Amino acid sequence: MHRVTHPPRPDWARRMEEELGFVFHSPDGTVYWDETAHWTFTEDEIDRIEDAADAFHALAIRAADRAVAQNRLSELGIPGYAVAAVADSWRRFREGDPLEAPVYGRLDLAWTGEGAPALLEYNAATPTSLYETAVVQWHWLEETHPDADQFNRLHEALVEAWAARGAAMAGRPIHFTAGDVVEDMATAGYLQAIATEAGLATKLVAIGDIAFDESDRRFYDPDGTPIEALFSLYPVEWMLREDWGVPLIEAVEAGRLVLFEPLWKQLFSKGILAFMYELEPDHPGLLKAGFAPGLFAPGDRVVAKPLAGREGDGVEIVTLGPDGMPAADSVVRQASPGPRIAGDEGWVYQAFTPLAPAPGGHAVLGVWIIGDKAVAMGLREDAGEITGVGSRFVPHLFTPRAN
């Protein structure tokens, strides 16, 4: 595992906009897509990453079983009025209901190429960097290193995942939506195109254009069409704390609305890390985690994470002093242009682990899970130790094993 620097392709920005529709490569003039470098791996290293991600996913499923069986969903930041509906959704999934099957998720791993990859968190409901991973970095590989390979069958696996829902949807359209952000709406449009390719009826709608009708307790798009199935990149855990929350839960429970990702994905908030650690404290690469900082000793370096945080929002890295409280001048926060959104729902505390060093910062591996399998990887770099909205996406490749 190492990083290689080189000049970018000539005229890459204009070409990716025109050929791929990749319009958010440089938001506000800052670099997001960064092809002045790439990460290279051996096939053996890719196998280790894939195996670690598969094992973390399987452990997360067992941890969700534990949370439901022990009726501890409130510890995951799920509002009381939604607890029963989330548990019902989980039970239907475990009984094999195809409409409760997950579409995708992304595990963030820390790894330097030595030892076991460490799990930072599971972004299971609205993970970012999907299009960049599935399409843009593959396009880069085909043009620059056609003899190499890439850990990446994300597009194909997503088509298969949506196709598996075709019979259960029985022709009902799926509405795709996202918040009013260029990247999010473009990604929702990409997911809509995949579902259409898989044979499903689809429609893209801005979340601000969705209306709720009190008379029949249904949601409608701007054309007056009732929404029977909704894929939302606007986080459901945010909806549950807004006016949408109660009618959303009512509609799912009454069978008026199918939700993608399914409602049980609320179990995979960052709090799932604590349940995973309870189950397997000696699991390779699983960092100590719990719902209280008292789990750690004075002198430990600890990462505090809001349960429903996004893109590093609210994350702090602290060193505990002799009294078990953060030592003065030890707090590391992500520089963020906006106010902190997450945190009121609760926190999880996780042992700090170093990230892969990159020039002027660090890199995090994002491994995509479709069904129960790891299928692709993307890497993001940041000048700091907290991956956030300003982190850069850097492509990767691997060298196939000699026969």
Q: What is the pLDDT of residues 281-310, one digit of tens each?
A: 999 999 999 998 889 999 999 998 888 777
Q: What single DSSP character describes residue 81?
A: G
Residue 320: pLDDT band (50, 70, 90) is: confident
pLDDT category at 311 given cuts 50, 70, 90 is confident
What lies within 8 Å, CB to CB, of 362 at 6+ separation is 354, 355, 356, 381, 382, 384, 385
Strands 105-110 and 118-123, sheet pairing: antiparallel
Task: List phi, psi (to 5°) of 367.
Answer: -105, 125
Residues 257 and 248 sit within 8 Å (Cβ to Cβ):
yes
CA distance 134 to 130: 6
Mean pLDDT of 211-240: 94
Structure tokens at 80: 């009381």
How far apart, in Å, are the Cα atoms of 63 and each of 24, 40, 73, 350?
36, 33, 11, 16
- pLDDT at res. 122: 96
Is 337's pLDDT higher than 60? no
* Rounded mean pLDDT, 356-371: 93
User: What's the confidence (pLDDT) of residue 318?
Assistant: 86
The answer to whether 301 and 287 are in contact (CB under 8 A) is no
Does residue 142 have a cis peptide bond before it, meaning omega lies within 30 degrees of 0? no
pLDDT above 70: percentage of residues in the chain: 96
Question: 229 with 172: CB under 8 angstroms?
Answer: yes
Asked if 35 and 27 touch (Cβ cutoff 8 Å), the reply is no
| pTM of the predicted protein model | 0.93
Reply yes or no on whether the pLDDT at 8 is more than 80: yes
**In the prediction, which pLDDT does 343 show?**
56
Question: Confidence class of residue 50 from pLDDT cuts 50, 70 and 90?
Answer: very high
In this structure, of 105-119, 174-188, 313-327, 363-377, the range with the lowest mean pLDDT score is 313-327
DSSP annotation string for 12-79: HHHHHHHHH----SSGGG--SB--SEEEEEEHHHHHHHHHHHHHHHHHHHHHHHHHHHTT-GGGGT--
Q: pLDDT band at residue 241, thresholds of 50, 70 and 90? A: confident
| List of E strands, 189-330 | 202-204, 211-213, 218-220, 229-232, 258-260, 289-290, 301-306, 316-319
> Which residues contact residue 237 at a Cβ distance below 8 angstroms, ignoring those fewer than 6 apart?
77, 78, 125, 266, 269, 308, 345
What average pLDDT does the segment 109-119 reach? 96
In this prediction, residue 328 has a pLDDT band, given cuts at 50, 70 and 90, of low
Q: Which residue has the tokens 């729902």?
A: 345
Helix (H) or strand (E) holding 89: helix 83-94
